[in-house]
Structure 1
Amino acid sequence: MKIQPAPILKPVLFFIIPSLKGGGAERVIISLANYFSKKDFQSVIISLNNDPPAYVIENNVKVICLTDRQKSRFTHRAYHIAETFYKLIKLLRTEKPVCTLSFITSANIWAGITCSLTHVPYIVSERTSPERSVIRFNYLHRQLAAKLYKRSAAVVVSAKGVEDCLLRNKTFKKLNNIQRITNAVTVFQPLSNQRVHDRRFILGVGRLAYVKGFDMLIEAYAKAGFNDIDLIIIGDGEERANLVCQVFNLGLREKVLMPGSKNNLQDYYSQAEMFVLPSRNEGYPNALVEAMSFGCPSIALNCDFGPAEIINDRENGILVNNEPISGLTLAMLHLVNKPALKNEIGNNARSILQTNHPDKILGEWETLIKKHAATSRFATQFANNQPAL
């Protein structure tokens, strides 16, 4: 009788995030899980809520949703907290991950508490301005977050501004484990030969939320008075109804289009006259990086944080520093009226393909995660099954 060799075990990595619906953090964490699943790891994505993923997840990546708020019978917040805690602890004990990576403050807190109790190395990542997230907590919650962040293997931020903002706050000023890893250029499908719109257009991309500032973009576009250039905003979100009313009230129904989410963003980026990022806050805007990688001339409000670390004003893009609405209007008119400058900015923007190349950025994540995964009490059980971490 021939004895079959035992299956080779792979070290497990947990990727924890509040939701998998569309957004920059979701795109990044899914790309990381996909990447590590090809690097002799078993990637497990844990979503705290049950939302359909907005981006492609590889078949060999396990996805676990802890709760379904829309279908749940939860009548008390305490019960929801208890079940989330119980399920995470159980998963950590049964799956035995060598390291956990979490994105966004709520997931960071859950990862910090449960990984501390189960002695699993964990890395947390703040993906937006801390003033909108962890710094807004009440005193006790801030103290808890600071202790958990200090115990983590690393606190990863995507922009220096996020790091500076954390360290300016007295609760977090003693953090000495912050590491900056920017966002990689998204890898898209090849461009198609079909036009996405039959007229010239300005492009905005992002979740339709107040913080993304599309109300300001629509007003700025209206003030510009373009006759032959439309505005297309790609994305969905809770502000859609308000934005539709705004467009209607401004008499722009035929010129401002909001077709929802699209799976061919690469065609929009490559065909747009320009890209505009009107965000009130960011962490490190993926959409701006994506647009620039296609050579799309880009304008961004100099918000907290990210745009000023990506754009050198008037070289590879335009930063708007004052009076956001009138500033956006003037910037759009400036690029339309100066095609040579527009082309130069677009050509220079392509350099982001080198500075933010996926191999470079994912390599930085790999170095960080492998360093701390090797210290896990579960790591030794894989030593005879695969190369050393």
Structure 2
Amino acid sequence: MNIQAAPFSKPVLFFIIPSLKGGGAERVIISLANYFNKNNFQSVLISLNNDVPAYEIDDDVKVFYLTDRQKSSFIYRLYHIAETFFKLIKLLRTQKPVCALSFITSANVWTGITCWLTRVPYIVSERTSPDRSVIRFNYLRKQLALNLYKRAEAVVVSAKGVEDCLLKDKDFKVLTNIVRITNAVTIFPLPSEEKVHHRRFILGVGRLAYVKGFDILIEAYAKSGLTDVDLIIVGDGEERANLVCQIFNLGLRERVLLPGSKNNLQDYYNQAEMFVLPSRNEGYPNALVEAMSFGCPSIAVDCNFGPSEIINNGKNGILVKRGSIIDLADAMHRLAGDEVLKTTLGNQARVISQTNHPDKILGEWETLIKKHIAATATAAQLTNSQPAL
């Protein structure tokens, strides 16, 4: 990583995240970097790990990768910690950002420490259930995170449930700087007319990870009795081998497909009979918002957090009780056979294209960041204007 003094004529904003691999948080932070770079800022994207970006980054957005975690031995972990710390400090001192924005707990902690040391204003964002991240920390790590979050200009959450979860904790309930900004609808290219599958299909989209619950979806599909509708799960991840084994054991090799990641998701959303979100946990599920924006009738497990804030059960989608595979199977079977219900839910789902339009959501981010930049500049002017004693 070649770090040089910032030659930028525009104010610099840092966007910091653990990785730029595929995922909802990665898509959002890249969208923010692209947006601000077009709006009188120089965006600098910083990935703590060296990964190939899953989404398109504008050419004039600067991108830095801090470390390449190839080995996991204790010595290498210490090396990567030191490397991350010193490179991030150097970037903050040479690029001189007016504000740093970080996504996901590990990046939030790194950002808080280094920005505090370099006196750079920072905003952190929790993107999933705090029960799975900061609240589970041991005492020392939790107190460190709490103090860094209290010093932040804002702690941004994407769902009310995430905010409530933070504030119910006996330590984090002292936070007074929480701001809620939901995720914007992704603007895709227009769908093509080319068929992505030769039969009707149910769609799941996301990283193939345990928390995404695709094993639940496959089991529910097996119990649904649907033989004339296939199941396609688009995405890649560490659970692929386990899901393949599950599909084989259930005798569903011909009807459940795992085609990997796709760059034409708009065609899948547009052609699916329905979309199903089976997650065990979420922050604010992008895939659900995307599917609904295409008018795809959607079913979601009522997990923590997000689905119940997006779906009005029976109006613009169907919410299924968490932990009930039978209820999910029944909902899929009922929706597959009810054309009127599919049309009604799909039409109402499209409203999310307005409520979560990028102009609205990105405008909220812009207002937040500019507010704290202005407040910091005013405070600095007041400090500099004080007479020396």
TM range (shorter): over 0.9
Partner of 2:67: 67
Question: What is the match of residue 259 of structure 1?
Answer: 259
1:8: how far off? 7.0
Q: Distance in 2 between matches of 1:377 and 1:118?
A: 15
Residue correspondence of structure 1 range 13-162 to structure 2 within 5 A: 13-70=13-70, 75-162=75-162
User: Is this contact kept in 1: 2:12–2:44, CA < 8 A?
Assistant: yes
- Partner amino acid for 1:271? Q
Correspondence list, 1:360-371, <5 A: 360-371=360-371
Contact 2:303 2:322 in 1 (8 A): no
Distance across 1 between alignment mates of 2:61 and 2:208: 29
Structure 2 partner of 1:297: 297
Alpha-carbon separation, structure 2, partners of 1:245 and 1:73: 31
> 1:233 maps to which residue?
233
> How far does residue 72 in structure 1 lie from its aligned partner after superposition?
9.6
Residues 66 and 87, structure 1, Cα contact 8 Å, conserved in 2: yes
Counterpart code for 1:130: P
Q: Which runs of 5+ in 1 are unaligned?
A: 1-6, 382-389
Letter in 1 for 2:361: I
Q: TM-score, normalised by structure 2?
A: 0.94
- Partners of 2:76 and 2:193 lie apart in 1 by 53
Asked if the contact 2:157/2:181 (under 8 Å) is kept, the reply is: yes
Q: Deviations over 1:226-278 (max 9, x none)?
A: 11100000000000000000000000000000000000000000000000000
Q: Does the alignment pair 1:209 with 2:209?
A: yes
TM-score (norm: length of structure 1): 0.94
| 1:247 matched to 2:247 | yes
How far did residue 376 of structure 1 move? 4.4
Instruction: Give, in whole Å, the separation in 2 of the partners of 1:110 and 1:368.
Output: 21
- The whole-number CA distance in structure 1 between the counterparts of 2:164 and 2:323 is 24
In structure 2, the residue matched to 1:272 is 272
Partners of 1:365 and 1:154 in 2: CA distance: 11
- Describe the SS at the equivalent of 1:279: coil
Whether the 8 Å contact between 2:8 and 2:42 is mirrored in structure 1 is no
Bigger relative CO (Cα 8 Å, ≥ 6 apart): 1
C-alpha distance 322-283 of structure 1, shift in aligned 2 (>3 A): closer
Offset at residue 161 of structure 1 (A): 0.2
Q: Measure the CA separation in 2 of the matches of 1:375 and 1:21.
A: 34
CA contact (8 A) 2:206 2:212 kept: yes
1:3 matched residue in structure 2: none
Residue aligning to 1:196: 196
| Closer/same/farther in 2, CA of residues 321 and 238 from structure 1, 3 Å limit | same
Q: Which amino acid aligns with 1:369?
A: I
Superposed displacement of residue 375, structure 1: 3.9
Cα contact 1:99–1:376 (8 A) shared by 2: no
SS of 1:179's equivalent in the other structure is: strand
Query: 2: distance between equivalents of 1:122 and 1:129?
Result: 21
Distance in 1 between the 2:38 and 2:378 partners?
Answer: 20
Contact kept in structure 2, 1:373 and 1:379, CA below 8 Å: no
Quote the offset at 1:75 in angstroms: 3.0
Q: Which moved more, 1:328-337 or 1:293-302?
A: 328-337
C-alpha deviation, 1:24, in angstroms: 0.3
Alpha-carbon displacement from aligned partner over 1:316-362 (angstroms, at most 9, x marks no partner) = 00000154211110110111122101110011000001110000000
Counterparts of 1:202 and 1:161 in 2: how far apart (Å)? 28
User: Which whole-Å CA distance do the structure 2 matches of 1:182 and 1:351 have between them?
Assistant: 15
Task: Please give the alpha-carbon distance, in whole angstroms, between the structure 1 residues aligned to 2:371 and 2:105.
Answer: 23
Which 4+ runs in 1 deviate beyond 6 A?
71-74, 378-381
SS at match of 2:172: coil
Please give the secondary structure, in 2, of the residue aligned with 1:374: helix
- Assess if the C-alpha contact under 8 Å between 2:69 and 2:80 holds in 1: no
For residues 276 and 287 of structure 1, the distance between their equivalents in structure 2, rounded to whole angstroms, comes to: 9
Distance 1:85 1:77 in 2: 12
Distance 1:30 1:245, change over 3 A: same
Indicate the percent of aligned positions where both proteins have the same amino acid.
Answer: 76
